[in-house]
Chains A and B, each alone.
Chain A
Amino acid sequence: MDGAKPKPRRALPRGINALPKQEVEREQRARLAEGLTAALTEKGYAAVSVADVLAKAGVSRRTFYQLFADKEDCFLAAYEESAGRLAAAVAAAYADDERPWPERVARGVEMALDFLAADPPRASLLLVEVLGAGPRALDRRERVLASLAVMFADAPVDDPTRQLLTEAVVGGLYELAYARVVKGEARALRSAKRDFLYVALVPFLGHEGASAHVDSAVSD
């Protein structure tokens, strides 16, 4: 997987040009999150140590422990940050306008795939590593998946079955993405839009309805 090579690090300005404390902290948090994400591509969550994260981030151990209690805490922060951006991007793409539901779903799905394909280490953090990072990470993962279900709130289906159907579809889309990311093929997600969109639509529109929308959305 790529993304493991350390990026050149810019020193934070000191003295009279020093950044306000909050900004320094934010920058350091972001570096540590990036460092952890990069370290995870080499070893996986269980084997990654705080020292690995520090080496990637170029941040001192003292600073790490000022900001995070431990590796899990750092992971959760990195996960929340990336997942929050993914969820916000998908929600914005989906709710962008008054188009019919299948077109809005197509935009939401496309946004999610582009987001994941753009940064494979981040995709791995979001989809693969989260499964091995402990119960708190799993709780957050469930909340994120539930937030992605917003795309199916307007799906044409009877209400009693909506929740289960939505859960199954979101879990199914997750699995399709997971299968590619775990093999190091996150970038290939972009070319798999047809499959993802078909899976998102077919339980609600049937084979013919889903196929027609996939054809028009993907050829656009």
Chain B
Amino acid sequence: MGAGSVEGFPEEWGARYRLMTAMADAVAECGYEGATVEEVVRRSGLRYEQFHKHFADTEQCFLALYTVSVEFILLRMARAFQREGDWLLGLRAAFSALFVCLAEHPETTRACFSDLSFAGAGPRRAREEALQRFAAFVSLCRAGAPCGAMAPTALDQALAGGLHHVVSSRVRAGRIDDLPELALPMAETVFKCFRGEVPPPVDRGERVARAPSVHPA
């Protein structure tokens, strides 16, 4: 993305979002180490002082980007889930929202998955908090599942971790475009943990791949 462009947010949202977006682009292209204040300022098309009006340093800017991105994705997943009447359809819709969202914002996805690991204690904690929030989301989703009430909470944490691992290995391999195809199989993976019969996939024109159904319990 060029200088001054704003990925995912309207330009009028202001300097803070421009800087965060420039941060995503800089990390995606130069790595976390290479995303200096100068680099972020240059890409944002703003002035150096404006950066420091919003952020003390690049880590703070990165953390803001990461936190907002997690919120944004969780909100989309929650809305997609709520629109469906059934927990399994809801789960599929939520995963579809997640993966489509990640693919639609490749710079942010690359910045948050492939380079976060170089980023010290702050980003490490942010990642842990994000995974806890995803675990809490899985926990809410599975409340309506056949075996949802019986599984240990460790399973929610493991599913969030598994999801993170699946996404980050694809991001690191440069396969962000493939992510939407994972929506249905990943939803089925979660589903298998709360075992029941999987109805055939519903073709609703979503960008999801058809996956083989599971054997009934």
Contacts and interface: CB of A to CB of B under 8 A. Distances in A.
A132 B195 contact: no
Interface in B10-36: none
B124 interface: yes
Contacts of A182: 124, 128
A13 interface: no
Given A167-B166, A170-B165, A161 B118 contact: no
B165 A199 contact: no
B162 A172 contact: yes
B interface residue count range (under 10 / 10 to 19 / 20 to 34 / 35 or more): 35 or more
Interface string B104-136: 000000000000011111001000100100000
Given A207-B147, A208-B217, A168 B157 contact: no
A211 B155 CA distance: 13
A169 B155 CA distance: 10
B158 A173 contact: yes
Interface string B153-182: 011011111111110010010000000001
A204 B172 CA distance: 27
Contacts of B155: 195, 198-199, 202
B151 A207 contact: yes
B150 interface: yes
B124 to A, nearest CB: 7
B193 interface: yes
Given A132-B124, A207-B150, A175 B161 contact: yes
B118 A134 contact: yes
Interface majority SS (helix, strand, loop, mixed), chain B: helix
Contacts, number: 115
A158 B217 contact: no
A174 interface: yes
Contact of B157 (A134, A165, A176): A176
B172 A165 contact: no
A92 interface: no
A171 B150 CA distance: 22
A29 to B, nearest CB: 26
Given A161-B212, A182-B128, A202-B151, A132 B118 contact: yes
Interface majority SS (helix, strand, loop, mixed), chain A: helix
Interface stretch (B44-52, B60-68, B183-191): B183-191
Contacts of A19: none
A172 B159 contact: yes
A61 B194 CA distance: 55
A175 B157 contact: yes
Interface string A66-99: 0000000000000000000000000000000000
Interface in B187-212: 188-189, 192-195, 211-212
B152 interface: yes
A184 interface: no
Contact of A176 (B117, B161, B186, B217): B161
A194 B147 CA distance: 17
Contact of B154 (A160, A170, A198, A211): A198
A61 B167 CA distance: 41
Contacts of B120: 46, 132
Contact of A138 (B117, B119, B152, B189): B117
16 contacts: A132-B119, A138-B117, A142-B172, A168-B166, A171-B164, A172-B159, A172-B165, A175-B157, A175-B160, A175-B164, A182-B124, A182-B128, A195-B155, A198-B151, A202-B192, A202-B193
Interface of A: 44, 46, 131-132, 134, 138, 142, 145, 158, 160-161, 164-165, 167-176, 178-179, 182, 192, 194-196, 198-199, 202-204, 206-208, 211
Interface of B: 117-121, 124, 128, 131, 147, 150-152, 154-155, 157-166, 169, 172, 182, 185-186, 188-189, 192-195, 211-212, 217
Given A164-B189, A199-B155, A204-B192, 8 more contacts: A132-B120, A138-B117, A168-B163, A170-B165, A175-B164, A176-B157, A196-B154, A206-B195
